[in-house]
Amino acid sequence: MDADKVFKALADPTRRTLLDLLYEKNGQTLTQLCDQLDMARQSVTQHLGILEAANLVSTIRRGREKLHFVNPVPLHEVYERWVRKFERQRLSLLHDLKKDLEGE
């Protein structure tokens, strides 16, 4: 995983919106995605290209259409590397607080 590309892709609100749209209904065409956004087709294509470069979106051709799908693997890797370790400490503190409050 190229974490820099993933973070760059996630830094933009339009790209996060695209991921949300694909999460809600995976396998959408460019036209379907453009219909839900207030921006030019070329701009949506550029955003999808950045998401594809970060491996957050994959595509499959079906006839003349190109379907876009969320790839959750890079997000999971970011979670494992950058979120989980901080979550573990917080949960441990909450567990200790619970034990103290309950007198265990």
45-63 pLDDT, tens digit each = 999 999 999 999 999 999 9
Q: Token pair for residue 71? A: 């790839």
Q: In the CATH hierarchy, which fold is given to the domain comprising 3-102?
A: Arc Repressor Mutant, subunit A (1.10.10)
pLDDT, position 104: 62
CA–CA separation, 60 vs 67, rounded Å?
5
Residue 73 has pLDDT above 80, yes or no: yes
Each domain of the chain, given as residue ranges in start order, spans 3-102
Amino acid (1-letter code) at residue 48:
L
Q: What is the pTM of this model?
A: 0.79
Q: How far is CA 64 from each of CA 12, 28, 61, 86, 95, rounded to the nearest angstrom?
A: 29, 13, 7, 45, 55
Q: Return mean pLDDT, the chain.
A: 91
Provide the 3-class DSSP secondary structure of residue 29: coil
CA–CA separation, 45 vs 100, rounded Å?
54
pLDDT over 70 percentage in the chain: 98
